[in-house]
């Protein structure tokens, strides 16, 4: 029988890479994985909503149904607040940070930012959705935990990951030593190491962008799209256009196959749509760790100053050479 490494075993083995670690980060990752399994169970049942009851109504057991994004938010917050390793949770679903024990200076040393169910508008049509998480160490242990502990640059992340609820459910994460992917085996209820040492190809032939907004894109992006569509055998163009509209799924595919994902600024969204803290920083950390590149079209995402919790940023992320090339179009178009 082939040797199966579960996420739990892998995390324990990898703890040896951090000689001073006391196991808190490992426990935190395991708490996230448990909440992910619970969310996965509900996401899988989403198509049965019409039979079991609509969100907001009462199901046949008399329990009230919740919208899945609210359910996911509650599951992750509850796993993170009860674990004891974390002092602050910042969720894309909540306007403010959740400080677990505001007066406790010895409170858990980690801060977690989470997008509990990204792309949740896709659930009704059975398209993959995801969870994105980002973990920081508390900045200042002399003062009670607060917003400054969350507003750290992406370079300060100690770990980041995502869960994709797709044709199979996967958890992909990094602690800054490469990227590993685990597939949920529903028969044993365990995430099993299936994609060790993930690397994003340096070149690719897939571009992912919502072309419906073409008219509103900056000139550099318009010209890059035209470049992707031109015929040229040497560079394997025209490239393939793939856009799911679910960031985790689009970036996961490009991580495996090679490609670029772009969500630029537009006239209507001058800072782009996607959030720096919950979406772009964790995805940038993962992609860089896999050998790829992530910028706002000019500057490395991970070095952007974080001034606001729900700050947005344009993002160009994926295969290194594709991102560099798209940046060149941006510069030339100024
Ligand atoms: P959400 O956080 O409200 O779910 O929005 C984020 C999602 C991303 O998953 C996806 O890449 C993007 O929004 C799609 O936006 P658009 O429909 O504008 O292309
Ligand atoms: Mg989101």
* pLDDT (tens digit per residue) in 193-226: 999 999 999 999 999 999 999 999 999 999 999 9
For residue 79, what are the contacts with CB-CB under 8 A and spacing of at least 6? Answer: 31, 32, 34, 35
At 327 the pLDDT is 98
SS3 130: strand
Distance between CA 114 and CA 119 in Å, rounded?
13
Beta-strand relationship, 98-99 and 315-318: unpaired
The answer to whether the CB of 323 falls within 8 A of the CB of 295 is: yes
Biggest distance spanned by C-alpha atoms of the chain: 63
The pick from 165, 274, 315 for probing ligand 1's pocket by mutation, whose C-beta has the most ligand atoms within 8 angstroms, reads 274
* Res. 101 pLDDT band, cuts 50 70 90: confident
Distance between CA 211 and CA 225 in Å, rounded?
9
At 263 the pLDDT is 98
122 lines ligand 1 (CB under 6 A): no
- Ligand 1 nearest-atom number relative to CA 249: 9
Distance between CA 126 and CA 100 in Å, rounded?
35
| 171 Cα: distance to centroid of ligand 1 (angstroms) | 20
Reference 208, options 170, 161, 256; nearest CA is 256
The pick from 69, 116, 119, 241 for probing ligand 1's pocket by mutation, whose C-beta has the most ligand atoms within 8 angstroms, reads 119
Beta bridge partners of 131: 163
For residue 77, what are the contacts with CB-CB under 8 A and spacing of at least 6? Answer: 89, 91, 98
Q: Which ligand is nearest to the CA of 129?
A: 1
| Least confident span in 70-79, 121-130, 316-325 | 121-130
At 59 the pLDDT is 47
272 lines ligand 1 (CB under 6 A): no
Reference 184, options 131, 257, 127; nearest CA is 131
Binding site annotation covers 181? no
**SS3 per-residue string spanning 254-313:** HHHHCCEEEECCCCCCCCCCCEHHHHHHHHHHHHHHCCCEEECCCCEHHHCCCCCCCCEC
Question: What tens digit of pLDDT does each residue of 8-54 get?
Answer: 999 988 877 766 667 888 999 999 999 999 999 999 987 776 554 45
120 lines ligand 1 (CB under 6 A): yes
At 120 the pLDDT is 85
Helices (H), the chain: 7-15, 24-44, 49-52, 68-83, 219-229, 247-257, 281-289, 320-332
Reference 68, options 121, 128, 132, 125; nearest CA is 121
The answer to whether the CB of 206 falls within 8 A of the CB of 22 is: no
pTM confidence score: 0.94
SS3 208: strand
Q: What is the mean pLDDT of residues 267-295?
A: 96
Atom 17 of ligand 1, residue of closest alpha carbon: 245
Q: Is the ipTM above a cut-off of 0.85?
A: yes
| Least confident span in 55-64, 96-105, 156-165, 229-238 | 55-64
Binding site annotation covers 243? yes
Q: What is the mean pLDDT of residues 226-243?
A: 97
Which pair of structure tokens corresponds to residue 137?
A: 């160490």
Helices (H), 58-175: 68-83
């Amino acid at each position: 029988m082939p040797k199966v490494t579960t996420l739990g075993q892998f995390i324990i083995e990898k703890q040896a890479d951090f000689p001073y670690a006391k196991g808190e980060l490992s426990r935190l990752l395991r708490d996230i994985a448990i909440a992910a399994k619970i969310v996965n169970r509900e996401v899988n049942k989403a198509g049965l909503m019409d039979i079991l009851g609509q969100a907001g109504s009462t199901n046949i057991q008399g329990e009230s149904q919740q919208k899945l994004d609210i359910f996911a938010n509650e599951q992750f917050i509850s796993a993170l607040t009860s674990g004891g390793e974390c002092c602050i949770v910042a969720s894309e679903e909540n306007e403010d940070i959740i400080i677990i024990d505001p007066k406790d200076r010895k409170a858990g040393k980690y801060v977690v930012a989470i997008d509990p169910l990204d792309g949740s508008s896709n659930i009704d049509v059975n398209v993959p959705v995801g969870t994105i998480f980002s973990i920081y160490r508390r900045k200042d242990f002399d003062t009670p935990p607060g917003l400054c502990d969350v507003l750290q640059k992406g370079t300060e992340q100690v770990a980041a990951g995502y869960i994709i609820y797709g044709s199979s459910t996967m958890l992909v994460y990094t602690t800054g030593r490469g990227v590993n992917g685990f597939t949920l085996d529903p028969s044993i209820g365990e995430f099993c190491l299936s994609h060790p040492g993930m690397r994003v190809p340096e070149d690719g032939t897939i571009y992912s962008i919502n072309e419906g907004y073409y008219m509103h894109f900056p000139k550099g992006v318009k010209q890059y799209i035209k470049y992707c569509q031109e015929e040229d055998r040497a560079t394997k163009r025209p490239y393939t256009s793939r856009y799911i509209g679910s960031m985790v799924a689009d970036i996961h595919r490009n991580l495996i196959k090679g490609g670029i994902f772009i969500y630029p600024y537009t006239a209507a969204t001058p800072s782009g749509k996607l959030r720096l803290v919950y979406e772009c920083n964790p995805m940038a950390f993962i992609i860089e760790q896999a050998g790829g590149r992530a910028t706002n079209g000019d500057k490395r995402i991970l070095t952007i100053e974080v001034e606001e919790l729900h700050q947005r940023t344009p993002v160009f992320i994926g295969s290194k050479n594709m991102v560099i090339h798209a940046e060149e179009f941006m510069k030339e178009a100024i």
